[in-house]
Amino acid sequence: MTSFQFELHAVDPATKARVGTWHTPHGPVDTPAFMPVGTLATVKGLTPDQLRLTGAQQVLANTYHLALRPGADVVAELGGLHRFMNWDGPMLTDSGGFQVFSLAKLTKINDEKVVFRSHIDGSLLELSPETAVRIQEQLGADCIMCLDECPPHDAPTEAMRTAVDRTTLWAARCRDAQRRTDQALFGIVQGGVHQEFRERSANGLLPLEFPGYAIGGLSVGESPQQMYDTLDFTVPMLPQHKPRYLMGVGRPIDLIEGVLRGIDLFDCVMPTRNGRNATAFTSQGVVKMRNLKHRTDPSPLDPDCACPVCRQFSRAYLRHLFMAEEMLGPILLSWHNLAYYQRLLSDLRDAIRAGTSQQFRAVQLARWEQSV
């Protein structure tokens, strides 16, 4: 077996949902999988041991942010990202392409490169396809991403075409710049919510024969239905025998909808960001921990969850932590939310094997619609 191999084990005949294993140099990933986001070489608030207890197998970090601090040279000198953050499982690094969108006011872009003005101290950081690959090779993640341009979903036609063509141009340069053979370089399909541009992007990327393909440029302001419609026509463009990664998504329902359309990998800051802001995802729906009704509630956060948070602490205690502004509150809710995401996808993998992914979706929607 090569270092990277994607095995398909089951496909639900009623949907496009599939179960597989993505083999990497640092171990296997059961798909469909959710990757917690550790932008700065840390999933906020959790130690690696706590992260493993959530069931997470692969985590994500960010090229742009790590290049600014502590610097890719520092990470490389200290043994690479796995050793630096003490995570021995698979890792993926984004290329910095999303920051072209999210930090648009701080960037200048042309076909050669992107120039960022640091959001930290105003210094300049240049990212070309070649430097994005070099930095990711220094960081040492198992999966690395091509530098791309992520346009707004409502970008004018000419701007969307430019972004798609630039993404294809940069993908070829990234592939040519890659030197390490122990990292899987993924191409990123762009094109907003427009089928013709998604086809244009896929047609440019597929001949480059990347070991995996991502769908970028979604969850950037379009409606959920627009995202689902875009997946309906984009996923069939991608190879059956390679992993498909939907970048930056999302809510629990978005994960289910994506899986039923054939997506294998997800990442999003939502479980930890919402956890830090006193919002929990549960089997019965979203719980706002600052609500007064939880003040004397001795019940667990989620009676259907076996994570340490739900086994050991009451809703009343969790609310107290947030009202008292104790740092343990955000830590515990982030821990639970990540465990909930992992269990959701584990249960969904079981449903796919059983051929009941449609029923799984219906049951989850019915439960979430109940008031908490």
pLDDT, tens only, 31-74: 999 999 999 999 999 999 999 999 999 999 999 899 999 999 99
Name the active-site residue from 142, 254, 264, 267. 267
Q: What is the mean pLDDT of residues 200-223?
A: 96
Q: What is the model's pLDDT at position 267?
A: 97
pLDDT band at 308 (very low <50, low <70, confident <90, very high): very high
Give me the pLDDT at residue 147, please: 96
pLDDT, mean of residues 268-292: 97
Q: 370 — phi, psi (to 5°)?
A: -75, 145
Over residues 78-105, the mean pLDDT reads 87
In this prediction, residue 370 carries a pLDDT of 72
The domain limits of the chain are 5-268, 277-368
Q: How does pLDDT run across 346-367, given as a tens digit for each residue?
A: 999 999 999 999 999 999 999 9
pLDDT reported for residue 102:
64
Catalytic residue among 94, 142, 254, 264: 94
Query: Tokens 């094109």 map to which residue?
Result: 191
Better-predicted residue by pLDDT, 242 or 124:
242
262: left (phi over 0), alpha (psi -120 to 50) or beta: left
The more confident residue out of 2 and 172 is 172
Using 50, 70 and 90 to split pLDDT, how confident is the model at 107?
A: confident
Q: What's the CATH number for 5-268?
A: 3.20.20.105
Residue 2 has pLDDT above 60, yes or no: no
Among the listed residues 123, 196, 111, 120, the one whose alpha carbon sits nearest the alpha carbon of residue 147 = 111
Please give the Cα distance from 54 to 32 (Å, whole number).
16
Provide the pLDDT confidence category of residue 369 given band limits of 50, 70 and 90: confident
Mean pLDDT value across residues 322-348: 98
Instruction: Average the pLDDT over each of 13-22, 111-120, 236-245, 348-357 and give the range with the smallest value.
Output: 111-120
Please indicate whether residue 267 is annotated as part of the active site: yes
What stretch of H or E contains 212?
A: strand 212-215
Rounded (to 5) percent helix, strand, coil in the chain: 45, 20, 35
158-167 mean pLDDT: 96
Task: Respond yes or no: is residue 94 known to be catalytic.
Answer: yes
Beta strands in 55-123 (DSSP E): 59-62, 91-94, 107-109, 114-117
Q: Is the pLDDT of residue 100 over 80?
A: no
Percent of the chain with pLDDT over 70: 97
Arithmetic mean of pLDDT, 237-250 = 96
Average pLDDT over residues 337-343: 98
Mean pLDDT of 203-221: 96
Residues 330-355, mean pLDDT to the nearest whole number: 98
The model's confidence at residue 116, banded by pLDDT at 50, 70 and 90, is: confident
Indicate whether 178 pLDDT > 60: yes
What whole-number distance in Å separates Cα of residue 51 and Cα of residue 226?
A: 33
pLDDT at 137: 98
Q: Is the pTM of this model over 0.85?
A: yes
Average pLDDT over all residues of the chain: 94
Question: Does position 101 have pLDDT exceeding 80, yes or no?
Answer: no
What string of DSSP letters covers 311-364? HH-BHHHHHHHHHTT-THHHHHHHHHHHHHHHHHHHHHHHHHHHT-HHHHHHHH
Say which range, 15-19, 106-110, 167-171, 324-328, has the weakest mean pLDDT.
106-110
